[in-house]
A and B are shown apart, each in its own frame.
Chain A
Amino acid sequence: MPYRRREVLKSVGVAGAGGIALSNEQYSDTEGGDYPPGQPPRGDPRPYDASTTRRVPDEYDSIQSAVDDAEPEDLVLVDPGVYEEAVEVLETPRLTIRGTDRNEVILDGGFEREDAVFVTADDVVLENLTARHYTRNGFFWTGVSGYRGSYLTAYNNRLYGVYAFDSVHGKFEQSYASGHTDSGFYVGQCEPCHAIVENVRAENNAIGYSGTNAGGYLTVRDSVWRHNMGGIVPNSLDTEANPPQDAARIENNLVESNNNADAPDAAFGYAAFGTGINVAGGRDNQVVGNTVRDHANFGIVLVPMIDKNVYQPANNRVFDNDVSGSGRADLALGAPQAGGNRFLDNVADSARPASLTGGFSLLGGDPWVTLVLLEQFMQLDAGESPRGDWQTAPEPPFEELETMPEAETTPPREAIRRRSQ
């Protein structure tokens, strides 16, 4: 008999408090992992008491020169224009770089500069900017504690759009990414991450969200992932520290039609082709309340990840999702798997193995599922998989991308509230 926390709560007469209890579950129940997958309640980031606004191009002729002059907690406010530069924030913590108009303040890499904004200082905030045509990434934080990207657009950069690596205490929100050969949004190599990805949209990437070896207080929620090769892909790899991936919460997303063979791809995308939510070698994750539809292979799939080591999915919980229109199966669990993977209360028409939807099966995990994704990986590895060109991928629907309200007058705020605050 599967363990159903909500039924237990009801049975002891605390249904009225059930919503609170369930939301608390996401960060109080570690399910055997080192950290829980969800988030504790956090307050809004607090505005800084005193900061200097440095305007580009009125006071500085480049964003980099304003950054170089800035003190911690300053605001670099950028007016509309195309800025052909690669900005580095290496030493100034608590800095905010903000455009006055999201769609009109454009950092352009010209297909020769590496990163639009490269950050190694703590608590740096990037807001209301567009980055395009960089040979590595759009917005990139690495090795930091505290980061936030809000109202960002990244498109047609070679690797990642909005990217946090080896970083903790962060948030991506109200942002858009398309046309990347790896993923639109990436949170990698962090445990615990203390990170949130919410209200974002990823299209036409190899992968919408990728999270290699990332987990612990990590939530991906309320976002749209569509027309990528693969949708949401938390994964375990030996090429980054601390495998396996452990404890992320993927909640209330719309994940649809991630079957885009024309999306750019280089590293991993086609291995996840035609899958909506693909937990590749992850453990202790929660996949809850998502709408997942119209995928060529699998809607929600847990599959082993084969690198130098084989990472088997374990102790993942998939519940209350609405999955439909999958070519092979709405719900899938590959073999080998390490056990403890539970599928509860999902709306789905098909499953591999059939036992995921209450049918009969001799198998705990289905080797057919693994075969599908392994074969696609082999095609990718051999350079035979279909793919598009990142330099000529479609441009974003700018008219649909909301700009930051009152960007000129809103004071700069801290990146994120820590849990202890």
Chain B
Amino acid sequence: MSEAGPLGRIGPLFDHTHDRLTTAIIVVLAALLGLFARWIVADFGVSFLAFLVAAVGSGYLLYRQPSRRAVAAAACYSLAALIAVVPIVYELGLAATVRDPLRHLLSTTDLLLVVAFWLLAAVPALVGYRIDRGPLLPRLRG
């Protein structure tokens, strides 16, 4: 066994550390994203598991960002991703329990639901982009 132990063999989890405030923000954001994921998948009885995976996963994702600004942007992207999967999970909830699910799911209303949530997801995605890369319109004009 090497002196660094098993973790030492695969390298450190992060190549940097954050200050206390940034770390606290990451913990809160990860918890909120975990709660949101838990709410989304509650139909499937895996709420705690979803919370755990989403909170730990997003915590890892956020902590590995190099700056507080990048953390905020990554949190917005994560939120956008979760909102985007809401209609998919929503439809799966019914598809898993009814006979002939396509009779229930292939409608204009279902399509509108998907579009509505993806439009909603675009809001935090654009906010994240703005935080990460600066104003969007000058880039488009340029």
Contact = CB atoms under 8 A, between A and B. Distances in A.
Nearest to A362: B35
A297 B94 contact: yes
Nearest to A378: B109
Interface string B61-101: 00000000000000000000000000000100110111110
Contacts of B90: 368, 371-372, 375
Q: Say which size band chain A's interface belongs to.
A: 20 to 34
Contacts of A297: 94
A274 B113 CA distance: 19
A296 B98 contact: yes
A275 to B, nearest CB: 12
Contacts of A366: 39
A352 B94 contact: no
B2 interface: no
B107 A354 contact: no
B45 interface: yes
Nearest to B103: A386
Given A274-B94, A327-B94, A368-B42, A354 B109 contact: no
Interface residues of B, number: 22
A342 interface: no
Contact of B99 (A261, A329, A371): A261
Contacts of A384: 107-109
A368 B39 CA distance: 8
Interface in A353-388: 354, 359, 362, 366, 368, 371-372, 375, 378-379, 382, 384-386
B39 A379 contact: no
A259 interface: yes
Contact of B93 (A261, A328, A379, A386): A328
8 contacts: A261-B104, A274-B97, A327-B97, A329-B43, A352-B42, A362-B35, A375-B110, A379-B107
Interface of B: 35, 39, 42-43, 45, 47, 90, 93-94, 96-100, 103-104, 107-110, 112-113
Given A327-B94, A349-B45, 9 more contacts: A296-B94, A296-B97, A352-B43, A359-B47, A375-B109, A375-B113, A378-B112, A382-B108, A384-B107
